[in-house]
C-alpha cells in the first residue's frame, strides 16, 4: 500500500516555494500577508499546483480535487506552513478514500 504522503508534493518543495514567495516582491494585502493555495489530485507527487491571493476559479489549482490554504507573511515559518498544507491535503485524501 502506498503512503498518502508519497502522492503529495514533498515538504522540501513546498518549503522552497514558500521561501521563493517570501523572497519576491509580491504585493501583500493591507494586513501584511498573502494567501497561498496548494492543490493536488493525490496521484503523483510531481503533479500539483499553487496560486496566490484570491481562490478564484481561474487559478492554477482549479483542475485539482484537493486544496490546502494558508497565509504567508514576513514571520512565516516555512516548515510549519509546509507541514500544515500537507496535513490539509493528506486529510482530504484520507477522507476521499473512506467508503461512506
User: Does pTM top 0.75 for this prediction?
Assistant: yes
Would you give the DSSP letter of residue 60?
Answer: T
Position 95 scores a pLDDT of 74
Residues 6+ apart with CB under 8 A from 59: 37, 49, 51
Cell, residue 15? 518549503
Report pLDDT digits (tens) over 12-68.
Answer: 999 999 999 988 866 667 788 899 999 999 999 999 999 998 766 678 888 899 999
Higher-confidence residue: 87 or 94?
87
Question: Is residue 99's pLDDT more than 60?
Answer: no
Q: Can you read off the three cell numbers belonging to residue 90?
A: 493528506
Which residue in the block uniquely carries the three cell numbers 486544496? 67
Q: In Å, what is the CA distance from 9 to each residue of 18, 28, 73, 74, 94?
A: 13, 25, 21, 23, 16
Amino acid at each position: 500500500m502506498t503512503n498518502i504522503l508519497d502522492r503529495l508534493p514533498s515538504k522540501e518543495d513546498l518549503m522552497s516555494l514558500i521561501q521563493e514567495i517570501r523572497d519576491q516582491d509580491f504585493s501583500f494585502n493591507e494586513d501584511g500577508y498573502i494567501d497561498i493555495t496548494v492543490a493536488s489530485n493525490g496521484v503523483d507527487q510531481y503533479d500539483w499546483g499553487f496560486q496566490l491571493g484570491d481562490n478564484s476559479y481561474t487559478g492554477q489549482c482549479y483542475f485539482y480535487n484537493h486544496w490546502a490554504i494558508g497565509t504567508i507573511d514576513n514571520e512565516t515559518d516555512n516548515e510549519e506552513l509546509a507541514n500544515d498544507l500537507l496535513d490539509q491535503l493528506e486529510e482530504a485524501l484520507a477522507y476521499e478514500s473512506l467508503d461512506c
